[in-house]
A and B are shown apart, each in its own frame.
Chain A
């Protein structure tokens, strides 16, 4: 509980607001190319200018929002890999591993808004080449927003506490069904404007929910991306050999 207060004292706000003037989201072209399956990072000039134009269009429509809440954490270490996240319980070997040694957890939900979905649909139907690039670029934008949230949470942490890589329902054996619990606990619909479909897809589609553990150990990888996935031969894997 001591560390739990540690977060609380410093990180008072539950909402981090997006400031497009002073802290605009930056997306790396290299990351977008990776999402497009362009591995050597050198697309032809047409694709490259398409990416530029899409990024410019997206910058005008994104509306990043988020909400987070810190909870006391109990990784029980029992046979069923029970993890008690304060607002709900789940059973997951990979989440247990991710959160081992942590005493509290931040649960968050973030989105870049529904305007992006309209454009994705527009171009998906009328100009798929642009649609594909927009998928990649908007994925990079939501990742960038999550990174910014991560950095701001980290900056607000009490000394001696460190964050674990964020971990989302659907990663490893962290059940996707837990989305419902996260949505209930954070009132995600009302506060962030994300809803779940019957099949547990999030809408707007460029949205993320995740948990971030906080503990005394500095494992020095606050941000971790898709490397955590065991599908090592994935076409889109970062730092793929």
Chain B
């Protein structure tokens, strides 16, 4: 039977539950169900036979949990288990005279990194092993089912695709709110799975047919491939120590009619369903023709959870994670300072970005590794979809593979070489790719020329089976100062991409103003014009006030902002942004009042922070005559750190720099303030949140001072490098992060190795970077052994390194017994020990 052909003609019937039937056959509570393929092959065969006789077209092998994670250390070999499963299934098919056999794959039972501890490639390889065995044993299709995490789903589909040519079906678990356990929606799942070119997709388990209907409708709405629905026999309840399900076969079959009316192509049953359910279901499906499936045209990118449509209302792609022309970002990437990059991501998200562009190309660094790490880090802290932005095709492939969801990819061009490299990746991994309207002859000067290139890109993509919806054309713009019609050509081209090609458009807006003064003035007007001409996505800086004004006001005027809701939310109480270091006087006054700080003496509508001084009329001060704590600005600085006022601390630092050196500010304000807070923490007068807020405030002030030190040639050297790591097996890192921010506020250079760090990585880094102090954290009794091992290896290979340890399960005596140099009961203790090792600040 050709399953896919059959699905085009009629409703295809899957089987019902295997687990439920094995329980009926008497499988024990602790037994691994798949072992029955070898110990009780007749029982397994009998179950398959009953389903086939009930009318099932496709049966799934008894291999749901057959993977090396569950079978490692078990006397049964996976190969035997899988082969046994197929022997049972084949025998049943032979005897019944019909039926196709699908290799059944369930979840691994582990959560993938970065949220869990299983490596993505490890997950792929676990599934690949089973797929290869299944192919060898004669599988006719691969059924990936009961998946509750998009990332694991992607790993399984990739493994199936890379190790077989069989049809691949994938179904996931959604709860009643229509979400997967890690947050994925039907829309997001469809987008990702169709990008990975599955042959059919759907939902199974968790709910009964009644509760599942809503999700089934969603799937049908977005899918361009057949939808499979295999619900449970209702909801579970306890009966005499076992779980039973609450609707009978008649109710089940009758409820499934609604599914078929909703347009699903294949049905079957999950937990609690029996051959009787399938028999009655068969009656319902009989004589029904396959639903017509239309090709959907919505352009969708996703993260691991959220889906973003491109088309209709224009979306904003935040451009700031890009080192081009940004010294600080380049440095952060070189230092692997993910804190800086993540801050930038969140700032853009808060300002209204829908997608974040990620470009990490810094000369002299390993772009592939950096891109993968950055994407993984970003996906652990934001639900926004990302745009993978690189011209290095190797890095592009690695990132597309690792990405959790369906990414946006920047970019392909009309150059043959580019299309030959990028389209195979889009075909394999899925994605919405930006198509640049340029080819081997450069950027065409006319709109005609750019449309021609766009057409070529679409045509070439079609050869790979990549639909038009997955290409988004960048019409590009030539700087208007060099070409007076630059803007007009772009606007015409993007309008024609819509009208003539039925395509979607994206634009990096700011190129237009290159070479002109006050570029923002041009940019925001050009952005408005582009929006008016139907621009679907703009790559802009969402933190630039002018661009967002253009965006929000356009939406009001174009009747896209109902009741002007968004505009009112963003702009009631709006005040234009101030130059760096300046502050509105009323704010200053309010802070003074609220926090009892010494008052400013001069008045004005705006406190200026230009180079001539803090305010008109202020005398030039020196560090010496402003040295005492009585100086109001310094007093303010101290108070800002003590009260943990992050923004205000940075502003205070900016102001203070006019009258004092950075080192003086650190030594006379920040360190004493931090010490005071630290003492209060130790005596129980302030608590951890306040301590951290102070440290964060000091850190933000220090960022301002650091720039100044670098430019004035003052010694901005940090005080020494400290490695921090949460040991192997431990993935909770709050304690380590607390220590990190405190050490950084005391200007130690923290090398944060993250969570779940193998001993070898700690040792290697300590040796490579000549580190004097290592801090290790462990939260669980089960992982303290790994801490001990890390210490052992450090002592052996880097004997001069000092080691401090902490964490929920650690005690003074235990630390001693595993040969740590110091037990730190809290974060302040780690600062004290660091000062001891490196000598106090001066």
CB-CB under 8 A from A124, the residues of chain B are: 733-734, 737
CB-CB under 8 A from B765, the residues of chain A are: none
CB-CB under 8 A from A120, the residues of chain B are: 734
CB distance from A64 to the nearest CB of B (A): 11
CB distance from B259 to the nearest CB of A (A): 21
Cβ of B248 < 8 Å from any Cβ of A? no
CB-CB under 8 A from B382, the residues of chain A are: 122
In whole angstroms, how far apart are the Cα atoms of A39 and B338 in the complex? Answer: 35
**Contacts A69-B241, A72-B241, A203-B115 given: A125-B737 contact, CB under 8 Å?**
yes
In the complex, the chain B residue whose C-beta lies closest to that of A17 is B176
In whole angstroms, how far apart are the Cα atoms of A239 and B116 in the complex? Answer: 34
CB-CB under 8 A from B687, the residues of chain A are: 36-38, 43, 47
CB distance from A118 to the nearest CB of B (A): 7
Mark out the residues of chain B between 671 and 715 whose CB falls within 8 Å of any chain A CB in the assembled complex: 684, 686-690, 692-693, 695-696
In whole angstroms, how far apart are the Cα atoms of A12 and B177 in the complex? Answer: 23
**Contacts A127-B696, A176-B782, A190-B205 given: A197-B690 contact, CB under 8 Å?**
no
A-B contact count (CB 8 A): 170
Cβ of B57 < 8 Å from any Cβ of A? no
In the complex, the chain A residue whose C-beta lies closest to that of B205 is A190
Does the CB pair B732–A201 fall under 8 Å? yes
CB-CB under 8 A from A141, the residues of chain B are: none
Mark out the residues of chain A between 19 and 54 whose CB falls within 8 Å of any chain B CB in the assembled complex: 36-39, 43-44, 46-47, 50
**Contacts A12-B237, A122-B382, A201-B732 given: A128-B738 contact, CB under 8 Å?**
yes
Cβ of B175 < 8 Å from any Cβ of A? yes
CB-CB under 8 A from B173, the residues of chain A are: 190
Mark out the residues of chain B between 146 and 172 whose CB falls within 8 Å of any chain A CB in the assembled complex: 146, 148
| Centre residue among B236, B688, B740, B780 by max chain A CB count within 10 A | B688
Total number of B residues with any Cβ neighbor in A under 8 Å? 65
Does the CB pair B781–A135 fall under 8 Å? no
Interface residue from B110, B148, B346 paired with A122 (Cβ < 8 Å): B346
Interface residue from A46, A88, A133 paired with B644 (Cβ < 8 Å): A46
| Centre residue among A37, A43, A126, A205 by max chain B CB count within 10 A | A126
Cβ of A222 < 8 Å from any Cβ of B? no
**Contacts A15-B236, A70-B241, A126-B346 given: A201-B731 contact, CB under 8 Å?**
yes
Main secondary structure of the interface of A (DSSP, over half): mixed
Cβ of A77 < 8 Å from any Cβ of B? no
Interface residue from B148, B689, B696 paired with A43 (Cβ < 8 Å): B689
Cβ of B276 < 8 Å from any Cβ of A? no
Interface residue from B241, B342, B741, B780 paired with A71 (Cβ < 8 Å): B241
Total number of A residues with any Cβ neighbor in B under 8 Å? 64
In whole angstroms, how far apart are the Cα atoms of A5 and B238 in the complex? Answer: 11
CB-CB under 8 A from B731, the residues of chain A are: 197, 201, 203
Does the CB pair B148–A193 fall under 8 Å? yes
Interface residue from A38, A44, A87 paired with B29 (Cβ < 8 Å): A87
Does the CB pair A36–B689 fall under 8 Å? yes
CB-CB under 8 A from B177, the residues of chain A are: 63
CB distance from A50 to the nearest CB of B (A): 6
Does the CB pair A13–B237 fall under 8 Å? yes
Cβ of A131 < 8 Å from any Cβ of B? yes
CB distance from B634 to the nearest CB of A (A): 22
**Contacts A193-B148, A200-B782 given: A126-B237 contact, CB under 8 Å?**
no
Does the CB pair A201–B689 fall under 8 Å? no
CB-CB under 8 A from A198, the residues of chain B are: 110, 117, 729
In whole angstroms, how far apart are the Cα atoms of A71 and B242 in the complex? Answer: 9
CB distance from B466 to the nearest CB of A (A): 31
CB distance from B9 to the nearest CB of A (A): 33
Cβ of B367 < 8 Å from any Cβ of A? no
Mark out the residues of chain A between 112 and 136 whose CB falls within 8 Å of any chain B CB in the assembled complex: 113-115, 117-118, 120-122, 124-129, 131-133, 135
In whole angstroms, how far apart are the Cα atoms of A200 and B235 in the complex? Answer: 29
In whole angstroms, how far apart are the Cα atoms of A87 and B28 in the complex? Answer: 10
Would you give the 0/1 interface string for B717-754, flagging 1 where the beta carbon is closer than 8 Å to chain A? 00000000000011111100110110000000000000
In the complex, the chain A residue whose C-beta lies closest to that of B785 is A199
Would you give the 0/1 interface string for A56-92, flagging 1 where the beta carbon is closer than 8 Å to chain B? 0000000101011111100000000000001110000
**Contacts A38-B687, A46-B690 given: A195-B737 contact, CB under 8 Å?**
no
CB-CB under 8 A from B241, the residues of chain A are: 4, 69-72, 86-87
In the complex, the chain A residue whose C-beta lies closest to that of B752 is A125
In whole angstroms, how far apart are the Cα atoms of A46 and B148 in the complex? Answer: 39
CB distance from A7 to the nearest CB of B (A): 8
Residues of B at the A interface (CB closer than 8 Å) are 29-30, 107, 109-111, 114-117, 146, 148, 173, 175-177, 179, 181-183, 205-206, 235-241, 243, 338-339, 342-343, 346, 380-383, 643-644, 684, 686-690, 692-693, 695-696, 729-734, 737-738, 740-741, 780-783
Given A125-B342, A128-B692, A197-B729: 19 more A-B contacts, CB < 8 Å:
A4-B241, A12-B238, A13-B237, A14-B243, A38-B687, A43-B689, A47-B687, A50-B693, A69-B243, A122-B346, A126-B346, A129-B690, A132-B689, A132-B734, A190-B146, A190-B148, A195-B116, A199-B782, A203-B115
Closest 6 CB pairs of A and B: A193-B181, A129-B692, A199-B729, A122-B381, A197-B117, A199-B782
**What are 13 A-B interface contacts by the 8 Å CB criterion?**
A14-B237, A37-B688, A43-B687, A50-B693, A69-B243, A114-B181, A114-B183, A122-B381, A124-B733, A128-B692, A128-B737, A190-B206, A201-B732
